Amino acid sequence: MDKLTIDDVTLQEKRVLTRVDFNVPLENGVVTDDTRIRAALPTMQKILKDNGKLILMSHFGRPKGKPEAKYSLAPVAKRLSELIGRPVKMAPDCLGGEIEALVNAMAPGEIVLLENVRFHPEEEKNDAEFSKKLAALGEVYVNDAFGAAHRAHASTHGVAKVLKDVAAAGYLMKAELSALGKLISEAPRPYVVILGGAKVSDKIDVIHNLITKISHLLIGGGMAYTFLKAQGHEVGNSLVEIEKLDIALNVMKVAEFSNPRKPVKLELPADHVIASSVEGTDAMPHKQVAIPAGKLAGDIGPKTIEHFRNLILQAKTILWNGPMGIFEKEAFATGTMKIAEAVAEATSKGAFSVVGGGDSVAALGRSGLTAKISHVSTGGGASLEFLGGKDLPGVEALTKAAKK
Q: Which residue of the set 164, 189, 199, 372 is catalytic?
A: 199
Of the candidates 250, 206, 203, 209, the one whose C-alpha atom is nearest the C-alpha of residue 223 is 203
- Distance between CA atoms of residues 5 and 78, nearest Å: 28
- Distance between CA atoms of residues 398 and 86, nearest Å: 29
DSSP letter string, 60-102: -S--TTS--GGG-SHHHHHHHHHHHTS--EE-SSSSSHHHHHH
309 is catalytic: no
- Distance between CA atoms of residues 318 and 345, nearest Å: 12
Q: How far is CA 155 from CA 94, 124, 233, 355, 376, in A?
A: 10, 9, 48, 27, 24
Angle at 134 between CA 130 and CA 138, to 5 degrees: 155
**What are the E-state strand segments in 241-321?**
265-267, 272-275, 284-286, 296-300, 317-321
- Distance between CA atoms of residues 151 and 129, nearest Å: 18
36 is catalytic: yes
19 is catalytic: no
Based on the number of CB atoms within 10 Å of its own CB, is 310 exposed (0-12), middle (13-18) or buried (19 or more)? Answer: exposed
CA distance between the termini of the chain: 13
3-state secondary structure of 30: strand
**What are the E-state strand segments in 159-203?**
167-169, 191-195
Q: Which residue of the set 86, 164, 189, 358 is catalytic?
A: 358
Q: How far is CA 30 from CA 80, 84, 285, 361, in A?
A: 12, 17, 40, 21
358 is catalytic: yes
Q: Which residue of the set 14, 36, 203, 213 is catalytic?
A: 36
Q: β-pairing, 352-356 with 317-321?
A: parallel
3-state secondary structure of 376: strand
Q: Residue length, the chain?
A: 404
Q: In what order do the strands lie in the sheet with 15-19?
A: 89-90, 111-113, 53-57, 15-19, 140-143, 167-169
Residues designated catalytic: 36, 199, 358, 381
